[in-house]
Structure 1
Amino acid sequence: MGSLPTYRPMLAVAGGLPSGPWAAEMKWDGIRAVAYLDGGRLRLMSRNDRDITAAWPELAELPEAVDGPAVLDGEIVGFRAGRPSFEALQHRMHVRSPERIAAFAAENPVVYIVFDVLHAGRTPLIDRPYRERRDLLMGLELSARRWDTPPGYDDLAYAFAESGRLGMEGIVAKRLDSRYLPGRRDRCWTKVKNVRTQEVVVIGWTPGAGRRSGAIGALLLAVHAPAGPLTFAGHVGTGFTDTMLRDLAERLAPLERDAAPAPVPPPEARGAHWVEPKLVGEVAYAEWTGDGRLRHPAWRGLRADKSPDEVVPED
């Protein structure tokens, strides 16, 4: 694997439908992963530079589908009832036991959705335009039970409407002449979403009542302001399953601290348990309020592939 350079994934900016020389792909609700294929071996690296290969054994044969070394960019996607489901990945993201990993892989295997090629043979491709990289990727004919190359769309309005019809999160529009910019977030990739989602840092929690008595009632959330410090973004108390709540309680317990990691207004801080800002999650929400709070957030799950310092307001 040492013969291939390493690439951090390029990131998209949230926005509206652009016009001009663009194409679009569906936005997949999964775990971003760069795949390194060399000498018949696979290495999967997450967005925050973690080697996650061992967690997804059902993808191990991917190098056999490509002639020679390559670096691919894509998304690990779980499915339920034939539709992409981020929740379907939640119970696998933190598992370390090889026996449990193998059981999960056999029970509900994932698919690696490939949407870019960064290196082919010994040739780096990141300075080639997206149009050319896309043609090269389609030429690899990566389509099998455990990996696939989804179609692209020249008509962005049609692609966006189709994403809604299919129940997808949205689309990613890409300028046809754009280079691949490793580790950068750039507007030449623009994500247009049907559902607003936001990554958040968990900074504390408040106890529940009634059916949730003795458990977590709500999580206190923060994002990084443009200047860098953590800023309170509100709280979320819906969207949890009982399994999620138990898992969160176990993960938050060793992170307890005495003081809030960010300023929190007294009404929201009352009775709160503070934690080190190390866990990243994702919420769906209606809008940002004028005072910088998430309106009507609903919990979607933890994001083990994201780092707290990456979490900034997307819209």
Structure 2
Amino acid sequence: MDVALARPVTQLPTGPWAYEIKVDGHRTVLWRTGDGVRLQSRTGRDVTALWMDLAVAAMRLPPGVVLDGEAVIYLADSEGGARISFEAAQSRALSSTHRARELAARHPATYVAFDVLAHPEAGDLRPRPYTERRQVLLDVLAGVGPPIEPVWSTTDPGEALLWYEALEGTGVEGLVAKPLRSAYKAGRIWSKIRHADTVETIVVGFTGTARHPRTLAVRLPDGRVALSQRLTTALASRIGPRLAPQPGRASTTAGDSYTPVGGDVVVEVVAGTTRHPVVTVVRLR
């Protein structure tokens, strides 16, 4: 299932739009099949075994339902509340099946659904307008309950901006705006504003070894090539197998040496750091 995406904007569009909170987790398409549940990552990979707690909960959905949403994990904060932790979701997504079960026992996941793509009675809902899909989503989840829940949504831009300001620091990244009459289709059909925006960059090289890359050389949107900050162990272990080293050496715009790679590995980096020679890699796309 090719998923819909959002393009970054600097302010919310106004008019016939819906505004949803953007939670920081792992994009996941959930299929309730005739005899089970299948979970798919944004890139199409089967991740059911890593989110088995969500798969078990999703058995309460009618067979034939397909949802689009985000797998998130809440962790307790210092004030006795809870916040969404991307790091915890990343640890789960990068773990082995056995490790994922251990992590699920300690920190169960929540599935925040923001769209319904198919329903056993209505069929393929993707051509239908957002307003119809939203109502079907609320109806289908009404009898399911946690840990599968609908995303917060409003058509009031003032209320949406209050969420944007009040929920910063809780794991809510920002807002996604969706035209009320829009169908669901692959590509950047929505708009998003985020507290700390990110951009997608092409990996052109690395330092360290291909098996254990220390930093990545990435090509930024303005054409510069820069080294990232040191990768976390989890990111390095996931990115390393995707790297295809090429002969020779290359240099960044600032003159730092790296091993060039082929292919089309894409990583997301924090946009606020792209004014400087070092960027922060957030995740592998």
Q: Give the structure-1-normalised TM-score.
A: 0.75
User: Could you list the per-position Cα deviations for residues 192-213 of structure 1 after superposition, in whole angstroms to 9, with x for gaps in the alignment?
Assistant: 1121112233322346xxxxxx
Paired position in structure 2 for 1:154 = 155
Matches within 5 A, 1:22-37: 22-37=17-32
Asked if structure 2 preserves the Cα contact closer than 8 Å seen for 1:156 and 1:173, the reply is no
2:53 partner SS: helix
CA distance in 1 between counterparts of 2:47 and 2:242 reads: 25
Are the structure 2 counterparts of residues 254 and 36 from structure 1 closer, same or farther at C-alpha, using a change threshold of 3 Å? Answer: closer
Q: Shift of residue 60 of structure 1?
A: 1.7
Paired position in structure 2 for 1:111 = 110
Question: What amino acid sits opposite 1:89 in the alignment?
Answer: A
Matches within 5 A, 1:199-278: 199-206=200-207, 218-222=215-219, 232-237=224-229, 240-241=231-232, 243-244=233-234, 247=237, 251=240, 255-259=244-248, 265=252, 267-268=254-255, 270-277=256-263
Matches within 5 A, 1:157-196: 157-167=158-168, 168-181=172-185, 183-186=186-189, 189-196=190-197
User: Which blocks of at least 5 consecutive residues in structure 2 are unaligned?
Assistant: 77-81
Paired position in structure 2 for 1:3 = none
CA distance in 2 between counterparts of 1:80 and 1:234 reads: 34
2:139 partner SS: helix
Asked if structure 2 preserves the Cα contact closer than 8 Å seen for 1:285 and 1:296, the reply is no
Are the structure 2 counterparts of residues 296 and 285 from structure 1 closer, same or farther at C-alpha, using a change threshold of 3 Å? Answer: farther
Q: Shift of residue 296 of structure 1?
A: 6.2
Asked if structure 2 preserves the Cα contact closer than 8 Å seen for 1:38 and 1:63, the reply is no
Q: Shift of residue 57 of structure 1?
A: 0.8
User: Could you list the per-position Cα deviations for residues 216-262 of structure 1 after superposition, in whole angstroms to 9, with x for gaps in the alignment?
Assistant: 6642112689xxxxx54422226x55x347637x82697432247xx
Question: What amino acid sits opposite 1:173 in the alignment?
Answer: A
CA distance in 1 between counterparts of 2:277 and 2:60 reads: 45
Asked if structure 1 preserves the Cα contact closer than 8 Å seen for 2:215 and 2:227, the reply is yes
Are the structure 2 counterparts of residues 141 and 120 from structure 1 closer, same or farther at C-alpha, using a change threshold of 3 Å? Answer: same
CA distance in 2 between counterparts of 1:99 and 1:217 reads: 27
Q: Give the structure-2-normalised TM-score.
A: 0.82
2:20 partner SS: strand
Percent of residue pairs identical: 31
Aligned to 1:13, which of 1, 7, 12?
Answer: 7
Aligned length: 271
User: Could you list the per-position Cα deviations for residues 88-142 of structure 1 after superposition, in whole angstroms to 9, with x for gaps in the alignment?
Assistant: 122232334x322211221222211111111111511112110111011111235
Question: What amino acid sits opposite 1:299 in the alignment?
Answer: V
Question: What amino acid sits opposite 1:219 in the alignment?
Answer: L
Q: Shift of residue 161 of structure 1?
A: 3.4
CA distance in 2 between counterparts of 1:190 and 1:62 reads: 30
Aligned to 1:74, which of 60, 69, 72?
Answer: 69
User: Could you list the per-position Cα deviations for residues 21-76 of structure 1 after superposition, in whole angstroms to 9, with x for gaps in the alignment?
Assistant: 11111012121111111224111122212111122111122443223421111111
CA distance in 1 between counterparts of 2:128 and 2:235 reads: 46
User: Could you list the per-position Cα deviations for residues 137-196 of structure 1 after superposition, in whole angstroms to 9, with x for gaps in the alignment?
Assistant: 111235533221122112224313312321221100111111111x2222xx11111211
RMSD of Structure 2 on Structure 1 (CA): 2.9
Asked if structure 2 preserves the Cα contact closer than 8 Å seen for 1:17 and 1:157, the reply is no
Pairing 1:283–2:280 present: no
1:61 partner SS: helix
Paired position in structure 1 for 2:79 = none
Question: What amino acid sits opposite 2:228 in the alignment?
Answer: V
CA distance in 2 between counterparts of 1:278 and 1:55 reads: 25
Paired position in structure 2 for 1:50 = 45
Query: Once structures 1 and 2 are overlaid, which stretch shifts more, 76-85 or 105-114?
Result: 76-85
Are the structure 2 counterparts of residues 252 and 70 from structure 1 closer, same or farther at C-alpha, using a change threshold of 3 Å? Answer: closer
